[in-house]
Structure 1
Amino acid sequence: MMRKIGCIALLLMLAFAGFRASAQQKTDVAKPKEISPDLFGIFFEDLSYAADGGLYAELIQNRSFEYSPADNRDWNSMTAWKYETDGFGYGTISVETAAPVHPNNPHYILLDIQDEGQKGVGLENSGFDGMPVKAGKNYSFSVFLNVMSGQSLPVKVALVDRKGKELGSSSFTTSNKGWKKYTEQIHVNFDNDSAKLVLLIKAKGKVGIDMVSLFPEETFKNHKNGLRADLAQVIADIKPKFMRFPGGCLTHGDGIANIYRWKNTIGPVEQRVEQRNIWNYHQSVGLGYFEYFQFCEDIGAKPVPVLAAGVSCQNSGGTWRIGGTGQKGIPMEEMSAYVQDVLDLIEYANGPATSIWGTKRAAAGHPAPFNLEYLGIGNEDKITGIFEERFRMIYDAVHKAHPEIKIIGTVGPSPNGEDFDKGWKLADQLSVGIVDEHYYEKPQWFLKNTARYDSYNRLRSKVYIGEYASWGNTLFNALAEAVYMTSLESNGDVVRMASYAPLIARIGHTSWNPNLIYFNGTKVFPTVNYYVQQQFAANSGNEYLPGIIKLKGEKTVIDTTAGTSSVRDSATGDVILKIANAGNATLSGEADLSKINKLPKSATLIVISGDPGAKNSSDTPQAVLPQSSVIKLKKKWAFTVPAYSLTVVRISGANAEKRK
């Protein structure tokens, strides 16, 4: 595979360098048009263990004993925990709610140690498929304890392997009565992919236990309550222009009581309100709105929070199985308070540190605003009267109070149909700035619909393609998406943003396929689709340059396996050419670079190519990877690109003349 790609790069280099300008008439290059600078981003939803057990670096599962059969019929408050009496100690253990750390976090463990035995009595946690730890690294442990028996107690916390071998430990002594947070550092001496954490009380007594936590000391950007460094870095490497969060269906939830409320996800983690995940597991909301905003800032992506439009998901209660609607609306007498929550979010993100909600942001460690620009209201909702009434209330209030915020509406779950038409009609009535289209389709659909946005009315709402993907993670799927994405660039004046979905999924816990990135406890596996998305996001522009590339035998037909685009990044002056070929034959053509003044002698060439059925996975993580080289340039050149390939040429703008 490597030799094949190397030959492809050589073929391109020879073709580019060896072309002799003919006497043909110069390409008629039309005036550049402005396109969205925020075109390609990412969509994060907490499904497939994307947050807990995923991007959120917490290693303890069910750290606050809030799991229940409502999350998963096989779960309870002791899920992932084991009562530890190894060493012949004994006592009693119970789950209590009488005197919690905080009312928002009602469950805790009560241990009554009647004989500590040889090792102590306590708890063992198995993490998410085990806890991966590395020799020489430090791990930050914390726990809330409430000593109820009147005397201080010795405590040991240790990481052990499956056979009980100690990998690292720390000991401390509690103080007297009352809930108190204890923090320790555990230094690990041995590598292990499936460690367990053991917390032992080594004396007789009665103690409450809650919020047992373990983080790697090295999180992404070394934030406290931070993110898993390797997974966050792979996401950052996409170089997305924006990040949508906290999800799609997760946002409007499974019934009104399950609607995602942003205020429940900020502040000290022990005071946040956990809840059932619509994807049949649990949300600790340790990864909450503050952490989402912070991550966006860390990776240079604009934050795009999406809030429910006052209604629950139409598939609530599993009604998707019967095609019905489980959509319920927040009672109208409660909608004013809900609308205020939406306005408060804008203040939390953008208000001064002296404002009510800006103060809470500052208290979390970020006095400066997060510079929120976009706000989504609704997620592929069924456009009913219940929805319309509530959406109008929210839209009118936000538009009046914050005309600077770009509001993103919704036009249903499909690229056409009744909800799509009704959603667009409502957007026209309200003059909504942007609407959110979703579609998951076969790769052939993407190849046949490259002209979708050519005929869109430029005076209507702009488009955010919030969720899209072809059904698969093969190279052919990724290239079908690439062909389609070239048409999004050419229509970047109407398509404001686009994000492949879903973003990440934990192997063994996937709620949806395909995904852009897969991972387990120790490794991250970007798909071929990931590398295509990365090339478009990292090589985007804010000007579209029509007429630069001409394909031989090019036909103006909708059904095509090829797509090209030419964009300029005005900040750098760089010109980027993309040629996507999802067909089974080589593709040739010519490009006119004569309009670039002082054309540099060389450019960067990146090629993704291979067998159309190839896919990157945990078994073959590097089946298809981008290959980079440097090519010579001429003002006019011919090119040949291989079958089943994406070619990207980036021409430095250091000496380029910006055309206006």
Structure 2
Amino acid sequence: MRYGFVLTALLLFCFAANAQNKPKKISPDLFGIFFEDLSYAADGGLYAELIQNRSFEYSPADNRDWNSLTAWKYQTDGFGYGIISVETAAPIHPNNPHYILLDIQDEGQKGVGLENSGFDGIPVKAGKNYDFSVFLNVISGESLPVKVALVDKNGKELGSSSFTAADKGWKKYAEQIHVNFDNDSAKLVLLIKAKGKVGVDMVSLFPEETFKNHKNGLRADLAQVIADIKPKFMRFPGGCLTHGDGVANIYRWKNTIGPVEQRVEQRNIWNYHQSVGLGYFEYFQFCEDIGAKPVPVLAAGVSCQNSGGTWKIGSTGQKGIPMDEMKAYVQDVLDLIEYANGPATSTWGAKRAAAGHPAPFNLEYLGIGNEDKITGVFEERFRMIYDAVHKAHPEIKIIGTVGPSPNGEDFEKGWKLADQLSVGIVDEHYYEKPQWFLKNTTRYDSYNRRRSKVYIGEYASWGNTLYNALAEAVYMTHLERNGDVVRMASYAPLIARIGHTSWNPNLIYFNGTKVFPTVNYYVQQQFAANAGDVYLPGMVKLKGEKTTLDTTAGTSVVKDSATGDIILKIANAGTTQISGQADLSAIGKLPESATLTVISDNPEVKNGADNPQAVLPQSSTVKLQKKWAFTVPAHSLTVVRISAGTVGKQK
């Protein structure tokens, strides 16, 4: 084996008589994911739409250099001419106010129209189909021939389709374009090939093949890499995005459902734009598709304390929704629960059913607030929301917040408020150096089990090297050990488009055509895919200086009750190999072998976009014995899964 891994034996499972060594139940939802639309994670990312600024709603409020024609070009290459303008007089819907008016006075040789460059170009593949649609309003009254084509940078046609627009009033036209050539940076051209006047809006292009083939769906390769983590839950849509840049920018879930042309687009707090084509229905649907419990997070009636661009801990840009509007806001929160769980005959359940999902989404968790500064303004509004939800839906597990840091004033005040209200779960966040994670592997050992449970909604060490990932792995064994108090944990952020990163590090990087998981991703994947619901203490005995091992190594053993499998993890962030032993005799008849997975390499080597194959998990089988002794390499994570289906199958 190329890592020089020596495993003469490995561990597991004996039950000690004393109480502290007895198995204990831990959260079955411990390891999940957190999605926030930053670094172009939604538009230009997970959302499969290939047209940028499809509804002409970009503005300088999003980005000082943007306007309604950002990513668009007026196309008159065939010597045609006319007038182009951005209008608002008669839109498709009041929620979607801007559209383009084309007044074609001479169609020329090719026609007059619009060209879109997508997100760093439009990637297309030969032999694949792409679903095009557009809303047109033929104002001039006569039918107009229309051609839509995908072209390369030199104007070579890669695929096209033609149709006739004939009606006054807004009408949706849909075509399928078959592509004959590969191209990573194509453009879409929409041409009107006759004199006339026409309104244009909602120009859209999707690959026919989306994740699970949903319409208005997700990018298949990126969604699959996320699904391959096998997360137990997904938190969405943020993050700071949730409580927004000022009260007017708070993320309102009702604005993100229904027909896409009727949704309310808005500025993204990360200084770009949200089409909200990836909205609450699509989030719930994705969770269902990948077997992850949905964990929506709503603003606690206040905006981000960093509103106005003051990104400092303790910033005071926090503003509250006016108290005379809070009753309606609280009702919005209650309506979300009905949207997710209510029968199809209920008001909001009917809207879910109309979108194609009559069955409930089985919402169990609901977050209120995101690392908010714990002020009087926050507390008053949080109490209102918490009391209303708790009274109307005691079955919902409410997740509170204790500020942006693992300690400090907001942390203490947040926990005090949680104690007063008996909040079931609180959300802790921390981004720290890898050494912090190695030095805090007893953080939850002494947490009071009678207080709120903990959700670590955002955490990461600062970097994507193997050392960063292993520091996180050592810490995660501590989370498993304390899975009775730590209910959930999710690395953050999840995904980032290369060239548009708002935050680093991230778990997964991508561009228009490829996806680059980091070594941190593979560590998260190993823990999520090999999670358990029972912790088995005292199984692993490491050799060496305890003080050294306590800050460089971590071990855990869990049982997955659904399968009966037992999983051992040994994380070694140190510079030398470590050894240990275990007694497997309590299992009875031992299985012949177990699955062994190792992540190990140079701790300074980064993978991801720059070097995607640098650090990959390597799997093999290992024979078992009743008396086990093991040695694991420096800078490694070792996972051994003993399948219940093999127990007792001996030669």
TM-score, normalising length: structure 1: 0.96
Contact 2:95 2:264 in 1 (8 A): yes
Could you tell me which residue of structure 2 aligns to residue 397 of structure 1? 388
Identify if the C-alpha distance between structure 1 residues 540 and 321 changes in structure 2 by more than 3 Å, giving closer, same or farther: closer
What's the CA shift for 1:639? 0.1
CA distance in structure 1 between the partners assigned to 2:218 and 2:478 by the alignment: 35
AA of the residue aligned to 2:9 = F
CA distance in structure 2 between the partners assigned to 1:617 and 1:489 by the alignment: 27
Could you tell me which residue of structure 2 aligns to residue 352 of structure 1? 343
Contact 2:592 2:646 in 1 (8 A): no
1:571 paired with 2:562, answer: yes
What's the CA shift for 1:268? 0.2
Q: Secondary structure at the match of 1:595?
A: helix
AA of the residue aligned to 1:489 = E
Could you list the per-position Cα deviations for residues 214-271 of structure 1 after superposition, in whole angstroms to 9, with x for gaps in the alignment? 0000000000000000000000000000000001000000000000000000000000
CA distance in structure 2 between the partners assigned to 1:225 and 1:360 by the alignment: 17
What's the CA shift for 1:321? 5.0
AA of the residue aligned to 1:304 = V
CA distance in structure 2 between the partners assigned to 1:446 and 1:315 by the alignment: 26
Q: Find runs of 4+ consecutive structure 1 residues off by over 6 angstroms.
A: 25-29
Contact 1:573 1:656 in 2 (8 A): no
Could you tell me which residue of structure 2 aligns to residue 301 of structure 1? 292
Q: Secondary structure at the match of 2:366?
A: strand
Contact 1:598 1:655 in 2 (8 A): no
CA distance in structure 1 between the partners assigned to 2:547 and 2:538 by the alignment: 14
Contact 2:313 2:404 in 1 (8 A): no
1:545 paired with 2:545, answer: no
CA distance in structure 1 between the partners assigned to 2:581 and 2:275 by the alignment: 55
What's the CA shift for 1:320? 2.5
Could you tell me which residue of structure 1 aligns to residue 593 of structure 2? 602
What's the CA shift for 1:409? 0.1
1:175 paired with 2:175, answer: no
CA distance in structure 2 between the partners assigned to 1:230 and 1:593 by the alignment: 41
Could you tell me which residue of structure 2 aligns to residue 216 of structure 1? 207
What's the CA shift for 1:598? 2.6
CA distance in structure 2 between the partners assigned to 1:535 and 1:376 by the alignment: 26
Out of 405, 426, 431, which is 1:435 matched to? 426
Counterparts of residues 615-630 of structure 1 (less than 5 Å): 615-630=606-621
Counterparts of residues 116-265 of structure 1 (less than 5 Å): 116-265=107-256
What's the CA shift for 1:175? 1.7
Q: Structure 1 stretch 318-327 or stretch 482-491: which is displaced more?
A: 318-327
1:496 paired with 2:487, answer: yes
Could you list the per-position Cα deviations for residues 139-194 of structure 1 after superposition, in whole angstroms to 9, with x for gaps in the alignment? 00000000000101000000000000000000000122110000000000000000
Could you tell me which residue of structure 1 aligns to residue 57 of structure 2? 66
Q: CA RMSD in A?
A: 1.5
Could you tell me which residue of structure 2 aligns to residue 16 of structure 1? 9
CA distance in structure 2 between the partners assigned to 1:597 and 1:101 by the alignment: 70
CA distance in structure 2 between the partners assigned to 1:508 and 1:642 by the alignment: 36
Contact 2:431 2:459 in 1 (8 A): yes
Could you list the per-position Cα deviations for residues 386-415 of structure 1 after superposition, in whole angstroms to 9, with x for gaps in the alignment? 000000000000000000000000000000
CA distance in structure 2 between the partners assigned to 1:388 and 1:617 by the alignment: 41
Contact 1:27 1:548 in 2 (8 A): no
1:530 paired with 2:528, answer: no
What's the CA shift for 1:16? 1.9
What's the CA shift for 1:599? 2.1
CA distance in structure 2 between the partners assigned to 1:116 and 1:145 by the alignment: 17
AA of the residue aligned to 1:449 = N
What's the CA shift for 1:595? 2.1
1:4 paired with 2:2, answer: yes
CA distance in structure 2 between the partners assigned to 1:380 and 1:210 by the alignment: 38
Gaps of 5+ in 2: none
CA distance in structure 1 between the partners assigned to 2:607 and 2:214 by the alignment: 31
Contact 2:9 2:625 in 1 (8 A): yes
Out of 246, 265, 268, which is 1:274 matched to? 265
Q: Structure 1 stretch 593-602 or stretch 110-119: which is displaced more?
A: 593-602
What's the CA shift for 1:593? 1.8
Q: Secondary structure at the match of 1:168?
A: strand
AA of the residue aligned to 2:97 = P
How high is the sequence identity, in percent, across the aligned residues? Answer: 87
Out of 349, 353, 356, which is 1:365 matched to? 356
Out of 30, 39, 52, which is 2:30 matched to? 39
What's the CA shift for 1:636? 2.0
Q: Secondary structure at the match of 1:342?
A: helix
Q: Secondary structure at the match of 1:476?
A: helix
AA of the residue aligned to 2:42 = A
Contact 2:508 2:608 in 1 (8 A): no
Q: Secondary structure at the match of 1:625?
A: coil
What's the CA shift for 1:323? 5.2
Out of 54, 59, 68, which is 1:77 matched to? 68
Contact 1:574 1:656 in 2 (8 A): no
CA distance in structure 2 between the partners assigned to 1:28 and 1:74 by the alignment: 69
AA of the residue aligned to 1:481 = E
Contact 1:450 1:558 in 2 (8 A): no
Contact 2:15 2:22 in 1 (8 A): no
CA distance in structure 2 between the partners assigned to 1:653 and 1:554 by the alignment: 34
Out of 420, 427, 439, which is 1:448 matched to? 439
Could you list the per-position Cα deviations for residues 102-147 of structure 1 after superposition, in whole angstroms to 9, with x for gaps in the alignment? 0000000000000000000000000000000000000000000000
Gaps of 5+ in 1: none
AA of the residue aligned to 1:588 = S
TM-score, normalising length: structure 2: 0.97
How many pairs align?
Answer: 645
